[in-house]
Structure 1
Amino acid sequence: MKSSRLLSILLLLQTRGRMTAAALAEELEVSVRTVYRDVDSLHAAGVPLYGDAGHRGGYRLLAGHRSRLTDLYTREAEALVLAGMPGAAEELGLGPHFADAQLKLRAALPAPLREHVDRLRARFHIDAPGWYDEGTETPFLPQVADAVRTGRALVLRYRRWRTPTDVDRRLEPYGLVLKAGRWYLIAGPGPRTYRVDQILDLTVTDEEVTVPEGFDLARHWRDSQADFHARLHRGEALVRLSPAGAARLTGAAARALAATGTPEPDGWTRATLPVESADHAHDTFLALGTDVEVLAPEELRTRIAATVRTLARRYA
């Protein structure tokens, strides 16, 4: 939509300053000729937009010009409302600021769009943590968030899963990630990932730190998650599943079933499923009861058979 693209040009110039036609075209995924036509349209509409020639040239807005939120489209206003998570803002120590920002956003919208946003807010509620998550205390989260914002090094005591469990660390914070209701700190050296709720004590130092050039928090998190899942499922198990058992699979197991599943004459499905470890596979397949039969590896099949015999004797 041209009107949306024109607004995008204004916002890009407003936030980034001078930009060339080529840079705008790349950002908007259009041709340079289209950018030229859009700039002419903005000129005709009276927008104080100027073009400078030469190697350091480009388009820029007259100093002080700002686009107003009355230019928001309905879907854009909806996205802003649904993206706002007051719970996360409260945990970060930004609750009052979040409320003020929401109030200002609402006041800046035209009346019809404001009424639509109010109805939307009354119909949607975001509750990210899982059902069985009792919530975790993260008393040092505001200080960690402040260190991330100001670029200050942290000295902390941290509890990890392996011995020695309690260790002292000096960290250079790169960013915070909220995943399934739990906060994670991405910090150097490394970078590595730390659960904020496992911080036992913390001091924000006056030492300035700089995030490495080119570091992208979202990309790093995606890559680390992919690496985690790749290392998580190191083994495989050949199984037969009843229709009920197949329906109970989720995540990586469900995807593997869809990719490797072969129907058998009795209505069951033979498939190769990823497993984390012998202990985890043993417990997972036992939980499926009579809706699964493990065919291989033989060690896992033998172990499950031994457990079943023990259960049979206990309940005989």
Structure 2
Amino acid sequence: MRASRLLSLLLLLQNRGRMSAARLAAELGVTPRTVYRDVEALAAAGVPIYAEPGPTGGYQLMEGYRTRLTGLTAGEAESLSLTGIPQPAAELGFGAQLAAAELKLMAALPTPYREASMRIRQRFHLDAPGWYRDPDVVPHLTAAAEALWQDQAVEIRYRRWAPEPGEVTRRLHPLGLVLKAGVWYLIADGIGEPRTYRVASIVDLRPLPETFARPDGFDLAEFWRANVERYERAEIADVAVVRLSPAGLAALPDVLGPKASRLALRTLTPADPDGWQRVTIPLESVGHAAAGLLQLGANAQVLAPAELIAHMTDTIHAMARLYP
């Protein structure tokens, strides 16, 4: 562990130039005192490292010095496909390996390419979650990813929004993980055909001793594309019928998102004498739909299905009791 940290410290100085002990400590996840000891160890090993005093000072390498100890470990190599998405990589347990792999790659690049790479890193950043939304809490994501990587069967306890049953148990063959708008989904086979499970709704996950063979020809990207297309075209069994005021119609894109709202607005009925109109929206789950429609307040009235009406009624009554 310490050898890996010493190499990371050395590569940080090689790639970025002078750095203070505090900055090095933050990058390496250690204390400045540990950085001091590591610098002494590098100097004792013959690395030409020295300290520059003063407010803008720090540690740096002798000009022209470059290490050739840049070989990638297996884990670091596996993490490279996640280079552009550091937060999801960290959620999957690849954070430290990805950081180490990037440092080694930067150190191995010729100077012009390294400078170009740094310019890109300074100018572009991917932030997956939507506005005003925190990423899902996904305590079982790492275990799901490990089972996926090992082609290992799992047993999950899964929380469904449907009233009966509230939780189900499934034995699954994990086929892929997808991050969509800050939400992780597990694609898994187990009950006839691949299905999609929201990772945040997995209550418990237990790896099973047996492994499985992935289906021939299964293409994760193609499966997800078809899944999204099917959802966005509302070609699903569950839909909700909602009556909306003009203000509710105007706010619908904020609740459903631009693309889904455009599809929903194609189902608009003519306005009634009060100016309200009916619209049919895809029903991902009762809870998910209720949370969105409650944002519209008195500008939305659910007409179907009965489960959604009951959920909305219970929630509104519970809210009313808080404001006597």
TM-score band, normalised by shorter chain: 0.5 to 0.7
| Cα separation, partners in 2 of 1:97 and 1:165, compared to 1, 3 Å | same
Provide the rounded CA distance (Å) in 1 between the counterparts of 2:137 and 2:245. Answer: 42
Is 1:193 aligned to 2:193, yes or no?
A: no
Q: How does 1:61-72 map to 2 (within 5 A)?
A: none
Sequence identity percentage: 43
Gaps of 5+ in 2: 1-79, 269-276, 284-288, 304-324
Provide the rounded CA distance (Å) in 2 between the counterparts of 1:215 and 1:177. Answer: 15
Is 1:104 aligned to 2:107, yes or no?
A: no
Say how many residue pairs are matched.
Answer: 216
Q: Residue in 1 aligned with 2:155? A: 155
Q: SS of 2:147's equivalent? A: helix
Is 1:128 aligned to 2:128, yes or no?
A: yes
Residue-by-residue CA offset, 1:78-119 (whole Å, 9 max, x unaligned): xx9996211111111111111122112212322112112212
Provide the rounded CA distance (Å) in 2 between the counterparts of 1:245 and 1:167. Answer: 36
Q: How does 1:139-288 map to 2 (within 5 A)?
A: 139-162=139-162, 163-189=164-190, 190-229=193-232, 230=234, 231=236, 249=253, 251=258, 252-254=260-262, 275-276=281-282
Residue-by-residue CA offset, 1:117-167 (whole Å, 9 max, x unaligned): 212212222221122223322111111101111100002222111222122
Superposed displacement of residue 176, structure 1: 0.7
Residue-by-residue CA offset, 1:33-91 (whole Å, 9 max, x unaligned): xxxxxxxxxxxxxxxxxxxxxxxxxxxxxxxxxxxxxxxxxxxxxxx999621111111
Provide the rounded CA distance (Å) in 1 between the counterparts of 2:197 and 2:121. Answer: 33
Structure showing greater radius of gyration is 1
- Answer whether contact 2:82 2:89 (CA < 8 A) is retained: no
Provide the rounded CA distance (Å) in 1 between the counterparts of 2:245 and 2:205. Answer: 51
TM-score (norm 2): 0.52
- Answer whether contact 2:84 2:126 (CA < 8 A) is retained: no
| Cα separation, partners in 2 of 1:201 and 1:260, compared to 1, 3 Å | closer
Q: How does 1:296-311 map to 2 (within 5 A)?
A: none
Superposed displacement of residue 273, structure 1: 6.1
Provide the rounded CA distance (Å) in 2 between the counterparts of 1:285 and 1:167. Answer: 29
Instruction: Provide the aligned C-alpha RMSD in A.
Output: 4.6
- Answer whether contact 1:253 1:274 (CA < 8 A) is retained: no
Provide the rounded CA distance (Å) in 2 between the counterparts of 1:198 and 1:286. Answer: 25
| Cα separation, partners in 2 of 1:126 and 1:158, compared to 1, 3 Å | same
TM-score (norm 1): 0.53
Q: How does 1:13-162 map to 2 (within 5 A)?
A: 84-162=84-162
- Answer whether contact 2:252 2:261 (CA < 8 A) is retained: no
